[in-house]
Amino acid sequence: MLILGAETSCDETAVSLVESKGNNLSVLSNIVSSQTKIHSKWGGVVPNLAAREHLKNIVPVLGTAFRKAKKSPKDIDFIAVTQGPGLIPALLIGTNAAKALSYIWQKPLLGIHHIEGHIYANFIRESLKPKVQSSKFPILCLVVSGGHTQLVLMKKHLDYEIVGQTLDDATGEAFDKVARILDLGFPGGPNVAEAATKIKNQKSKIKIDLPRPMINSSNLNFSFSGLKTAVLYKTREFKKLPVAALANDFQQAVVDVLVSKTIKAAKKYNPKTIMLAGGVSANKELREQMKKAVKNNFPDSLFIIPGSKYCIDNATMIATAGYYRWKSMTATQKKKALNNWKTIQADANLKLK
Ligand code: KG4
Ligand code: ZN
């Protein structure tokens, strides 16, 4: 089976072709056209600019994805597109392109939740380390992206219970805002992480001591907006900004809270598999420290993280989630999906269900 995935929820125009053979998925092409340079001037993603770039890029990216995979439209079995959540002008380009192609090519169309896609990045075969064919349920997944911070419990495929979430800023949003405070540019996450590595070369260690918000609260929720403000107040204490020390302590505060809450959730729900998902899961410190904490606390649980290129927005994760959705559908539902181009609507606030 051949799946065409498309994703345009934010500032990446992405198209992938994913082939399934039995339960094995192979990525034939994973094309991502990033708009980072265009938005960096403004310090964040400008929705209408993003839409204009998606419109310019979607056809060339589609062409590259087919050429790289050495496939043609007649080979695909269905199309999976990000329906939401995200920026509505951006989402509209991907969903309308997918709807037009579904109609013209007479291929079924599935609308996928962006976060479902991030979670299913863990099921892309290349992501599975060690080489396990399937993860065991229940699964606990920490989703950390630019728009979301959630602890999601899955008792089976496509079944989600949000057991904890941020009360204010998402983790990626906090990274991006702190990057702005420290004048590190956009996108913030990778730049803060890079700045933090410089702390290792500094002889005199400056103590920063940022708070670890909600680390001791009895629930599984998060809060990052106060931490961002704490960084801002700290900057006022110095004449010459200790950027590396601030970036390092901010990153460590975030990692401490994320690890602590994930372990707390795991103690409560006893998952057989613990996963990370979303752009911030590309963060090296988070990956390493979470891995260590899972190994120490739950040596019998499996710990899975997507390959770094599948943590940030891409269409392979959308095609993969589409594959699991397709597998769960009846023959009648699959037939009906041929007409989904008439009904699927981009939804900026789509709920995970
Ligand atoms: O999942 P994603 O690509 O898009 C959304 O769905 O939001 O996540 C983007 C977020 C941005 O806030 C970006 O700064 C953050 O992920 N990010 C990182 C890293 N790479 C991307 N944050 C921390 N460390 C990283 N290495
Ligand atoms: Zn995302």
Q: How many residues does the chain have?
A: 353
Q: Which atom of ligand 1 is nearest to the CA of 173?
A: 12
How much is the average pLDDT of 158-176? 97
pTM for the complete prediction?
A: 0.96
Burial class (CB in 10 A: 0-12, 13-18, 19+), 205: exposed
Q: What is the pLDDT of residue 205?
A: 75
Q: How far is the CA of 2 from the centre of ligand 2 (A)?
A: 23
Residue 282 beta carbon below 6 angstroms from any ligand 1 atom? yes
| Share of residues in the chain with pLDDT > 70 (%) | 97
Residue 84 beta carbon below 6 angstroms from any ligand 1 atom? no
18-27, 41-50, 138-147, 220-229: which range is least confident on average?
18-27
Alpha-carbon distance of 273 to 154, in angstroms, equals 10
> Which residues sit opposite 67 in a β-bridge?
none
Q: How many CB atoms lie within 10 A of CB 15?
A: 35
Residue 172 beta carbon below 6 angstroms from any ligand 1 atom? yes
pLDDT exceeds 80 at position 324: yes
Q: Which atom of ligand 1 is nearest to the CA of 9?
A: 6
Q: Which of 120, 122, 145, 285 to mutate to test the pocket of ligand 1 (most atoms within 8 A of CB)?
A: 145
Coil, helix or strand for 308?
Answer: helix
Whether the Cβ atoms of residue 18 and residue 316 lie closer than 8 Å to each other: yes
How much is the average pLDDT of 320-346? 97
Q: Could you tell me the pLDDT band of residue 43, with boundaries at 50, 70 and 90?
A: confident
- Single out the residue of 352, 278, 293, 8 nearest to residue 122, CA to CA: 278
Alpha-carbon torsion angle 282, 288, 290, 292, nearest 10: 160
Q: Which atom of ligand 1 is nearest to the CA of 193?
A: 24
Q: Encode pLDDT of 216-260 as tens digits.
A: 999 999 999 999 999 999 999 999 999 999 999 999 999 999 999
Residue 251 beta carbon below 6 angstroms from any ligand 1 atom? no
How much is the average pLDDT of 184-192? 94
pLDDT exceeds 80 at position 126: no
Residue 144 beta carbon below 6 angstroms from any ligand 1 atom? no
Sheet with strand 273-277: strands edge to edge: 161-165, 149-154, 139-144, 273-277, 302-304
Helix (H) / strand (E) containing 198 = none
Residue 7 beta carbon below 6 angstroms from any ligand 1 atom? no
Q: Which of 120, 175, 251, 313 to mutate to test the pocket of ligand 1 (most atoms within 8 A of CB)?
A: 175
> How confident is the prediction for the chain on average, in pLDDT?
95
Q: Which tokens hold the place of 123?
A: 């099921």
Alpha-carbon distance of 247 to 191, in angstroms, equals 9
Residue 278 beta carbon below 6 angstroms from any ligand 1 atom? yes
Alpha-carbon distance of 157 to 353, in angstroms, equals 11
Q: Name residue 340's amino acid.
A: N
Per the listing, tokens 């993280």 go with 305
> Which residues sit opposite 142 in a β-bridge?
151, 276
Q: What is the pLDDT of residue 188?
A: 93
